[in-house]
Amino acid sequence: MAPRRGIAPEALGPTITVGEILVEIMATTVGEGFLGPQPLVGPFASGAPAIFIDQVARTGGAAGIVAAVGDDDFGRLNVTRLARDGVDVSAISVIPGKPTGSAFVRYRADGSRDFVFNLVHSAAGDTAMTAEAEALIARAGHVHVMGSAFGIAGIGEILLAAVSSVKARGGSVSFDPNIRKELAGGETRKRIDEMLAVADLLLPSGEELFVASGKTDEAEAVEALLALGISEVVLKRGAQGSSHFSREAGRIDAPAYKVDEIDPTGAGDCFGATYLTCRRLGHRPDQALAYANAAGARNVTRQGPMEGVSTLAELDAFIAADADRKILA
């Protein structure tokens, strides 16, 4: 595998990812779970890798995804949506006899969520290395790895193959650990370490920084990760904004926009995709961070995980509209 050289420019080929596509159906009331009939809204296009790749395309980057859906409306809704936004959908397989993945989600009063998932046994569980997937991977300049995707049969192996192939041709890798501390033992720890050894851009949020680095202090954690050879660590801080860390630019902080949070799902994916794509398109780290920060904030103002994706023009307008509003320190 080629040595790390930082985030590869757009000219090297599209950004790709491998992972789950699903629909999300949301309770319209706050409360505990699904033990009785209740009002729901959806289906919304979803799946962290799908949100990510849709935002890459909206930002203006070439984008493709390896995934699997069923021969049903939930699958068609997603594929149509991704294609409309400019994602290469040629490597999305349609699996006969399996439904597209789905998630019912309801927020509790404390902001936590109850889920009913159909994912592992959905079409997503039949994601495989098809000829179309091989062709997409062979052209790719960057691969984004979503930690959660390793939890679905078949996807981890394809991700690892994509990472080897893309690295071998001088491409780069981003990694969103997307993993809770309690789940970071054994096989998962091995996967995290493998990804840290190849990632050029790390996109942790909250405690993931400490899980990844094994440190408990933020500055020490960042230093340990940069020492591994990761070029850029970009930390997502939710309603507290975000920070960039690299040897070249040091630390750059972006304070959060003050917005009405309607639905936080997908903010991290929109943020990461915008940051990565801006960097691939040649924006400086501070510019990429500013756009990413706006993309995350704008996403949480819309209901539905993929409904708040943004073009750079929409982000320019969002940033301009906010300039005279009060920004949280």
- Site residues (vs ligand ATP, CB under 6 A): 205, 236-239, 241-242, 256-257, 259, 261, 264-269, 271, 293, 296-297, 300
**Type of residue found at 185:** G
Those residues with Cβ within 8 angstroms of residue 328's Cβ, 6 or more apart along the chain or in another chain: 239, 240, 241, 255, 256, 257, 258
Give least dist CB 166 to ligand ATP, A.
23
> Which listed option, Mg ion, ligand ATP, none, makes contact with residue 300 (CB within 5 to 8 Å by class)?
ligand ATP
Distance CA(251)–CA(191), nearest Å, equals 27
Report the DSSP beta bridge partners of residue 92: 67
Residue least distant from Mg ion (Cβ): 268
> Which listed option, Mg ion, ligand ATP, none, makes contact with residue 237 (CB within 5 to 8 Å by class)?
ligand ATP
Give least dist CB 230 to ligand ATP, A.
17
Alpha-helix residue ranges (DSSP H) falling in the chain: 48-59, 73-84, 131-139, 155-168, 186-196, 208-213, 218-227, 267-280, 285-299, 312-322
> Which listed option, ligand ATP, Mg ion, none, makes contact with residue 275 (CB within 5 to 8 Å by class)?
none
Give least dist CB 272 to Mg ion, A.
8
CB-nearer residue toward ligand ATP: 95 or 196: 196
Give least dist CB 154 to ligand ATP, A.
23
> Which listed option, ligand ATP, Mg ion, none, makes contact with residue 297 (CB within 5 to 8 Å by class)?
ligand ATP
Tally the C-alpha atoms within 13 A of residue 133's C-alpha that lie toward its C-beta. Answer: 22
Give least dist CB 71 to ligand ATP, A.
29
**Type of residue found at 310:** S
Do 286 and 297 meet the contact criterion of CB atoms below 8 Å apart?
Answer: no
Give least dist CB 110 to ligand ATP, A.
15
> Which listed option, Mg ion, ligand ATP, none, makes contact with residue 263 (CB within 5 to 8 Å by class)?
none
> Which listed option, ligand ATP, Mg ion, none, makes contact with residue 259 (CB within 5 to 8 Å by class)?
ligand ATP
CB-nearer residue toward ligand ATP: 220 or 261: 261
Cis peptide before 285 (omega within 30 of 0): no
**Which tokens is 138 given?**
């062979």
Do 7 and 276 meet the contact criterion of CB atoms below 8 Å apart?
Answer: yes
Binding site for Mg ion (CB under 5 A): 178, 205, 268
CB-nearer residue toward ligand ATP: 93 or 301: 301
**How many C-beta atoms surround the C-beta of residue 221 within 10 A?**
22
Backbone angles phi, psi at 299, to 5 degrees: -60, -40
